Structure 1
Amino acid sequence: MSSVTIKSLITQDEWREAYPVMKHLRTHLEEKEFLELVEQAQEKDHYQLAALCSDGKMVAVIGYMPMITLYNGKFIWVCDLVTKPEVRSQGYGEQLLSYVEQWAKEHGYGKISLSSGIQRLDAHRFYEDKMDYRKVSYVFLKDL
């Protein structure tokens, strides 16, 4: 039976350890840019990273941040959620998302929101069928 732990990642060394996992989701980021973006996001937007370790090995990572908007009020935005491909479908994503849901409740946040690429049908089934999230909008993006 494997030992599973979830820990908040707060140091640059911990972020560096998370990079190989995050690279599966954010394939466009090199390590240096990843570390710079995490640092800026933590300083400016209170971005948080947490990792799930199985038998001492980091296998899944989640990034999230508290926000306030007129649409959602006070809520948590899940920016990133990724599990290493070779260990997917073992409940790690569910555990990390549940961890963030618990964190949100403990800190007075009533909602969690996220976006998922339109091509990620397996992820959509996970969010809707397993985690009880609803599709409520489209996200639009324009490069400037």
Structure 2
Amino acid sequence: MGEITIVALITEEELIEAYPIMNQLRTHLDQEEYLELVYESGAKERYQLLGLRDDGVLKAIIGFKPMITLYYGRSLWVCDLVTDKQARSNGYGDKLLTHVEQWGKQHKYESIALSSGLQRTSAHHFYEEKMHYSKVSVVFKKEF
């Protein structure tokens, strides 16, 4: 592991650079739809996409947004967290999630939450055992 930096991914060039990593998690999105959704969610919902670079090379990304709900209060919602498959188990997810947690504390948010697909058992272990998250609900979805 070299010099680790965490930076906001804002420009179209940066977002395109992140797409192959995001596509490992969001396989249903082509690059055009991915860009449209990042731009729209950023404008309407304050979605932010951060990247972790190791010696300048993008290795992992996290997308999150601030939310206010009656259940969570002032909270952050992690929408996306993925490490490039070639770079997993190097602590990059931990670093990104910790970075967003610190950002939330600095900006007076009360909690952080996320959902994870039922099949992603290794991710669940990471969230519960490594990051000390609790299972507090089950998410239901209905397609229109």
Instruction: State the TM-score, normalized to the length of structure 1.
Output: 0.98
Counterparts in 2 of 1:1-144, with a 5 A limit?
A: 1-144=1-144
Whole-Å separation in 2 of the counterparts to 1:50 and 1:74: 20
CA distance in 2, matches of 1:12, 1:41: 15
Q: Gaps (5+ residues) in structure 2? A: none
Q: How far is the alpha carbon of 1:73 from its aligned partner?
A: 0.4
Aligned partner of residue 24 in structure 2, secondary structure: coil
Note the C-alpha offset of 1:18.
Answer: 0.7
Q: Which runs of 4+ in 1 moved over 3 A?
A: none
Which letter maps to 2:57?
K
CA shift, 1:12, in A, is 1.7
Q: Deviations over 1:16-35 (max 9, x none)?
A: 11111101100010101100
- Following TM superposition, by how much is the alpha carbon of 1:11 offset from its aligned partner in structure 2, in angstroms? 1.6
Question: SS state of the match for residue 23, structure 1?
Answer: helix
Matched to 1:93, the amino acid is G
Given residue 135 of structure 2, which amino acid in structure 1 is its aligned partner?
K
| Amino acid paired to 2:35 | L
Gaps of 5+ in 1: none
Q: In the alignment, residue 25 of structure 2 is paired with which amino acid? A: L
Deviations 1:67-115 (CA, angstroms, capped at 9, x unpaired): 0000000000000000011111100000000010011011110100000
Q: 2:9 and 2:143 mapped to 1: Cα distance? A: 30
State the one-letter code of the partner of 2:116.
S
TM-score relative to the length of structure 2: 0.98
Tell me the alpha carbon deviations over residues 19-58 of structure 1, each in whole angstroms, 9 at most, x when there is no partner. 1110110001010110000000000000000000111110
Q: Which moved more, 1:54-63 or 1:3-12?
A: 3-12
Q: Write the distance in 1 (CA, Å) between the matches of 2:16 and 2:99.
A: 21
Alignment partners' CA distance in 1, 2:107 and 2:8: 15
